[in-house]
Amino acid sequence: MGTPEQNSNYRRIAFIILIIPFLFLLFLSWRCTCSYRGNIDERVFPARWKNKVSHEMEDELSSTRTVNKFTCQTPNAWLPHASQGSGSGHGRKWPNGIVPYKLHCSLTFDDRLQVQKAFEEYHSKTCIKFKPWDENDQSFISIEVDNRVCGKANVCKNGGYQFVKFGRNCRNTATMIHQLGHALCLGHEHQRSDRDNFLNVKRCYIRKDGPMAKLYAEEPKRLYDYASQMHFKCGSCPFGNPTKPNVTKCGRQITQGLSVLDADHINALYDCQGCFRHRWLPIEYLTDQDFKDMYNFGYNSRTGSPLYPCRAQIHGEIAIGKYQKVDKTCYIPSLGKETKLQTNVEVLLIPGGLNQFGKIYQLVKKYEMGISPFLVPGGRQADQVGLGLFYIAFGRLKNMYGEMEGTIGKYSLENDKVFFPLGGGEQGSEDFSLLTCRKE
């Protein structure tokens, strides 16, 4: 028997000897759960070997880490196909747009920040809600780091566990937004069946890999979106070159977030309500019920015909103008002129009325806005890096006959300029109203 102090030390040593194997097993279990940690450099080339790596391999490795080298490894077989429409895939939509998620332990603190920014992009522009998983959730997405891929995700809601992954030097907000889009049933914009009307991929056929396959048809056929976060960069094979004037960039070359058309597509796909319930519908699909959901807010043409907001792709823009039911024409302001279009045009609908459960669509004078309400975006500027959004503006201008005539156009908040179509030209104004939605 030793002294009390010696006995105490013996007990400490015994406890440490007993606890070490347990901690070791716990560590091994954690390593198995988090099999893809760190960056690709650390996994493939430990620091002590870095000087032995050839220049050629360094170049190849660095090329996988550039933003422009973003590739999505979600297989074509998982994506929506022509027989399924644009919003199906092999699974179902998430009920009420609520997506339970788990954050895998392979995510670093910065990874989690990127994921949270991606969530906020969806929360601010759509009714989609990503919520932490709880025991009542049988289906969920697991957000993980996997340095074998740039980005990959299960498409739609498949039931039970499914993953959304990013890795390598693609561990950023834009990649996560793209992969979450797949989880929500979105396909690739550049794989639409009509993409050859917007991208020139002819020279890509001489390459071994060829152009990206065309997978699905849009019904109803919405406007093609060069700025979609679901569009790969353009200007090289296998993605092709834009064929429309004033378009040189695509996808994340334009914006790191959801485009206006991305948000509108998701809100329609998930039948979002509240201030996300407005819809843009191609004019060839309009029904009698749709006309009841169109609002002119008291703005009429010189002859008294009601005017409604419309939009179209022109000169690289998604431009906003006025639609007249009487001649089935959308009048768009662009490059100083008023252009008349009767195809590839969408009209604004507000199903459920202007006031639905206290969420009110209304016009607000630009100079009376004060604390900005929710402005309803409808378009974007050509090749504008960043937001470059157009909002829906209503105005009354003097026409060539000296009469005040109603019109609808586009307003740029960034440039604080408004453009209206009138009398064959494009006009500005200091006195106009903007379409907003607010909570009563």
187 and 80 housed in the same domain: yes
**pLDDT class of 14 with cuts at 50, 70, 90:** low
Radius of gyration of the chain (CA): 27
Pairing of strands 389-398, 377-380: antiparallel
239 and 302 housed in the same domain: no
Predicted pLDDT of residue 139: 96
234 and 284 housed in the same domain: no
In a domain, 340, yes or no: yes
The Cα–Cα gap between 276 and 267 comes to 6
pLDDT of 276 > 60? The answer is yes
CATH number of the domain where residue 119 is located: 3.40.390.10
Q: What's the domain count of the chain?
A: 2
127 and 208 housed in the same domain: yes
Q: Could you report the per-residue pLDDT of 390-440, keeping only the tens digit for each?
A: 999 999 999 988 999 999 999 998 899 999 999 999 999 999 999 999 887
pLDDT of 265 > 90? The answer is yes
259 and 283 housed in the same domain: no
In a domain, 377, yes or no: yes
176 and 217 housed in the same domain: yes
283 and 265 housed in the same domain: no
pTM over 0.85: no
108 and 252 housed in the same domain: yes
Q: Final residue of a domain: which of 251, 272, 293?
A: 272
**Contacts within 8 Å (CB) and 24+ apart, 197-202:** 197/224, 197/243, 198/224, 198/226, 198/242, 198/243, 198/244, 199/234, 199/239, 199/240, 199/241, 199/242, 199/243, 200/240, 200/241, 200/242, 200/243, 201/237, 201/238, 201/239, 201/240
The Cα–Cα gap between 278 and 264 comes to 8
Most confident of 67-71, 97-101, 187-191, 226-230: 97-101
300 and 321 housed in the same domain: yes
237 and 286 housed in the same domain: no
141 and 263 housed in the same domain: yes
178 is in an annotated binding site: yes
Q: Could you report the per-residue pLDDT of 423-433, keeping only the tens digit for each?
A: 999 999 999 99
pLDDT of 37 > 50? The answer is no
In a domain, 13, yes or no: no
278 is in an annotated binding site: no
Q: Final residue of a domain: which of 242, 272, 302?
A: 272
434 and 304 housed in the same domain: yes
Structural domain harbouring 351 = 277-439
In a domain, 165, yes or no: yes
Predicted pLDDT of residue 221: 81
231 is in an annotated binding site: no
